[in-house]
Chains A and B, each alone.
Chain A
Amino acid sequence: MRFELPSVRKNRLVSMTPLIDVVFILLLFFMLVSNFQQWRAMPLQLSGQNNGPTEREQSFSVVIRQDGGLELNNIPIALETLTATLKRQIADGIDPNVLIAASESTGLQTLVHVIDSISAAGIDQITLGGTLP
Chain B
Amino acid sequence: MKFPCGERRRKHDDHLIPLINVVFLMLIFFMVIGRIAPPDLFQIRPPVSQSQQRESDKDVTILVSRDGSLAVDDTPVTLETLIPALQLSLDNARRKQGGTAGIRVKADAALTAGQLMSILKRLRDSGNAKVRLLTWSDR
Residues in A lying within 8 Å of B, measured CB to CB:
2, 5-6, 9, 13, 16, 19-20, 23-24, 26-27, 30-31, 33-46, 48-49, 51-52, 64, 102-109, 111-113, 115-116, 119-120, 128, 130-131
Contacts and interface: CB of A to CB of B under 8 A. Distances in A.
22 contacts: A5-B2, A16-B16, A24-B23, A26-B27, A34-B30, A35-B35, A35-B36, A38-B139, A39-B135, A40-B49, A40-B134, A41-B53, A41-B55, A41-B132, A42-B132, A42-B134, A43-B131, A43-B132, A111-B47, A111-B113, A111-B116, A119-B51
Contacts of A20: 16, 19-20, 23
Contact of B113 (A2, A37, A105): A105
Contact of A42 (B10, B37, B53): B53
A130 to B, nearest CB: 7
Tell me what chain A mostly uses at the interface: helix, strand, loop, or mixed.
mixed
B34 A30 contact: yes
A109 B109 contact: yes
B111 to A, nearest CB: 5
A108 B27 contact: no
Interface residues of B, number: 59
Nearest to B14: A13
A11 to B, nearest CB: 13
B121 A13 contact: no
B6 interface: yes
Given A5-B6, A46-B130, A104-B112, 11 more contacts: A30-B31, A35-B36, A38-B139, A40-B54, A42-B134, A43-B53, A64-B113, A106-B113, A108-B108, A112-B109, A116-B51
Interface string B4-21: 001001100100100110
